[in-house]
Amino acid sequence: MPQLPSARGRYDAAVIGAGPNGLAAAITLAQAGRSVIVYEAAETIGGGTRTKELTLPGFAHDVCSAIHPLGIGSPFFKRLPLEKYGLEWIQPDAPLAHPLPDGSAVLLERSVATTSAGLDAPDQRAYVALMEPLADGWDTLASAFLGPLRPSLIPLGIRHPLLLTTFGLHAIRSACGMARSVFRGERARAIFGGMSAHSMLPLERSPSAAFGLVLGTLAHAIGWPLARGGSQSLTDALAAYLRSLGGEIVTETPVTALADLPPTRAILCDVTPRQLLSLADDRLPSGYRKRLARYRYGPGVFKLDLALDGPIPWRAADCLRAGTVHVGGTLDEIAAAERAVWQGKAPERPFVLLAQQSLFDPSRAPAGKQTVWAYCHVPNGYTGDMTEAIEAQIERFAPGFRQRILARHAMSAADMERYDANYIGGDINGGVQDLMQLFTRPTIQLNPYVMPAPGLYLCSSSTPPGGGVHGMCGYFAAQAALRGALT
Ligand SMILES: Cc1cc2nc3c(=O)[nH]c(=O)nc-3n(C[C@H](O)[C@H](O)[C@H](O)COP(=O)(O)OP(=O)(O)OC[C@H]3O[C@@H](n4cnc5c(N)ncnc54)[C@H](O)[C@@H]3O)c2cc1C
C-alpha cells in the first residue's frame, strides 16, 4: 500500500478534505491540543469555498460559494479570530433583489419594515407579523438549526415555545403552500419562492418553506455578506489559523483508501457517503454499508461566471443595490423550473441565482468592469449546456445585458463533480435535504458523525446541519472525536 505523507511523524488525527467542514474539524482538534494533518486532493484548499480568475486576468470569481449568511452566522466561525487572518465581510446595501416581469423588483432589505413597504398592500402586515419575531429570535433559531440538532431541540422548545412553534408550523410546509396561504400578492410570493428554491426541492414539497424562512430571517438578522477578495479569503483565514495552532495541510494528495493513511487515533472524512463507502473498504459493517448506499443525492447545478464591461443593466435599477439577485419571475414560474429539474428535465426558463460581488467589492474586477456569478439547478449529472438559457433569463429582466459580456466560464453538473468530488452529479449540498434526510444524514443513527468503525468520523455537509459554508458539521464531528477516539 502506498503511504501518504506524514511530514512530522505521528499525528493524533487525519482529516480527509480541506473544505470548510474539514478545516473546521481540524481547527477544533488543534484547539484541543491534538496534532492534526489535513489531506486535500486538489491543488488548492477550500473545496466549495475557492476564488479563481476563471475568465480574464484581474477578474476574481467565486467558483462555488459566494454569499455567506451561514458563514457570518456560524456559531463556530464567530468564535475564531478570522479577521486577524484577513477575513473581512462586506454587507451589500440590500441582501436580495427579485425582479418581476412587470419591470419592477422586490427588495429584501435588512429592515423588516422597509421590506414590507415594498410588498403589495395586503401583505405588508402579514410580512411583519411573520418575519419580525423570527428576526428578533434569530439567536434561538440559530441554536436550533446550526446547533447540535437533536439534543438541543427539546430544551430550546421548552424555553421558547411560541417562537419555535410559529417557525415550525410554517417551516414544515411546502413553499407554494405557505406563500399562497400567508400572502395574497405576487411580490411577497415571488421573493419567498425564490429563497425557498435554495432548498433544491420542488416548491410543492415540504419542507421547502423552511429554507425561505431561514434565509429571510438571516437577511434581517445578520445580512447576506460576501468576503472581501472572494470566498477564498475565508478559506485562507481558516487555514492560516489552523497552521498557527500547529495543524498541517498537504494538497494534491487524494486519499483513495483509509488503509493508505499513516496510523492515527482518529480519521475525519470531509466526503459524502458514496465516497466514504469506497474509501472505507471493509472497515464498515455490511449492514451499515447497505444503509449508506441508500443515501440519496439531489439535483445538480450548472454554473456560469461572466466578466462584464459594466454593471448589469437591470430594468429595475434597484437591483444594483443588492448583492444577490433571484432571476426567475413569479412564484409559479420558479416552481415550474424546480419541478422540471425533479422530473429529470433541464428547465427552459431556469431559476437563476445570481451574485454581483464586484459592485460592492472593487477588488474583484479591473476598474469599471464587473463580475457575475450565476447558477441554476439541473438534473443530477446533467451534462448539457445551460449558458444560453441562463443568459436569456437575465436578458429578460436586463435588456442589453448580453452586450456587456466580455468573457464566460461555464461548468456543467458533471464538471462540478470533477472539480470537487463531494459534488456528486453536481449536488452542492452533499445529498438531498428533504424531510427524511435533512435531520437523518447520513443515516438514522444516534450520533450522525460517528461511523461504526474504530476512530472513524464523517464531518462533511452530508451530516447535520447540512449544506452551506458554516463549518458546523466539521465542528460537531471533531467534538464527537474528542469525546471518543481522541479522549
Ligand atoms: C455553485 C455553488 C454555489 C454555492 N453557493 C453557496 C453560497 O453562496 N453559500 C453557501 O454557504 N454555500 C454555497 N454552496 C455550498 C457550499 O460550497 C458547500 O455546502 C460547502 O462547501 C460544503 O463544505 P464541505 O467542507 O462539506 O465540502 P467541500 O467544500 O465540498 O470540501 C470537500 C473537500 O474534500 C476534498 N476531497 C474530497 N474527496 C477527497 C479525497 N478522497 N482525498 C482528499 N481530499 C478529498 C475535496 O477536494 C474538497 O476540497 C455552493 C456550492 C456550489 C457548488
Give the chain's radius of gyration (CA, Å): 22
Nearest C-alpha to atom 36 of ligand 1 is from which residue? 17
Tell me which of 8 and 155 has the higher pLDDT.
155
Q: What is the DSSP string of 29-87?
A: HHHTT--EEEE-SSSSS-TTS-EE--SSTT--EESS----HHHHH-HHHHTS-TGGGT-
pLDDT, position 166: 77
Q: Pocket of ligand 1, candidates 4, 64, 412: which has the most ligand atoms within 8 Å of its Cβ, to mutate?
A: 64
Q: Which residues belong to CATH 3.30.519 in the chain?
A: 299-419
Quick: pLDDT tens for 188-228.
999 999 999 999 999 999 999 999 999 999 999 999 999 99
Ligand 1 center from residue 48 Cα (angstroms): 3
Q: Which residues belong to CATH 3.50.50.60 in the chain?
A: 13-41+253-295+429-483
Ligand 1 center from residue 281 Cα (angstroms): 23
25, 478 contact by CB (below 8 A): yes
Q: What is the DSSP string of 108-124?
A: E-SSHHHHHHTS-HHHH
324 lines ligand 1 (CB under 6 A): no
Q: Pocket of ligand 1, candidates 277, 378, 422, 449: which has the most ligand atoms within 8 Å of its Cβ, to mutate?
A: 422
Ligand 1, residue 24: give the atom nearest the CA.
25
Q: Is pLDDT of 253 > 80? A: yes
Q: Pocket of ligand 1, candidates 62, 65, 302: which has the most ligand atoms within 8 Å of its Cβ, to mutate?
A: 65
- Give the 3-state secondary structure of residue 303: strand
Torsion of CA 236, 239, 241, 244, to 10 degrees: -120
Q: Which residue has the cell 455537509?
A: 461
> Cell for 126?
402579514
Cα distances from 217 to residues 70, 192, 221, 313, in angstroms, run 11, 11, 6, 29
- Give the residue ranges of DSSP H helices in 74-207: 75-78, 112-117, 121-136, 138-146, 149-159, 161-171, 175-182, 186-196
CA neighbor of 124 nearest in space, from 115, 116, 132: 116
Ligand 1 center from residue 415 Cα (angstroms): 14
Nearest C-alpha to atom 17 of ligand 1 is from which residue? 48
pLDDT, position 457: 98
**Average confidence score pLDDT of the chain:** 94
Q: What pTM did the predictor assign?
A: 0.96
Residues 107, 110, 111: CA angle, nearest 5 degrees: 95
Q: Is pLDDT of 159 > 80? A: no
Quick: pLDDT tens for 453-476.
999 999 999 999 999 999 999 999
Return the CATH fold of 13-41+253-295+429-483: FAD/NAD(P)-binding domain (3.50.50)
Average of per-residue pLDDT across 151-158: 61
21 lines ligand 1 (CB under 6 A): yes
The CATH number of domain 299-419 is 3.30.450: no
77 lines ligand 1 (CB under 6 A): no
- Give the 3-state secondary structure of residue 226: strand
pLDDT, position 1: 41
Phi, psi angle pair for 49, to nearest 5°: -130, 65
Other C-beta atoms lying within 10 Å of the C-beta of residue 90? 16
Quick: pLDDT tens for 370-398.
999 999 999 999 999 999 999 999 999 99
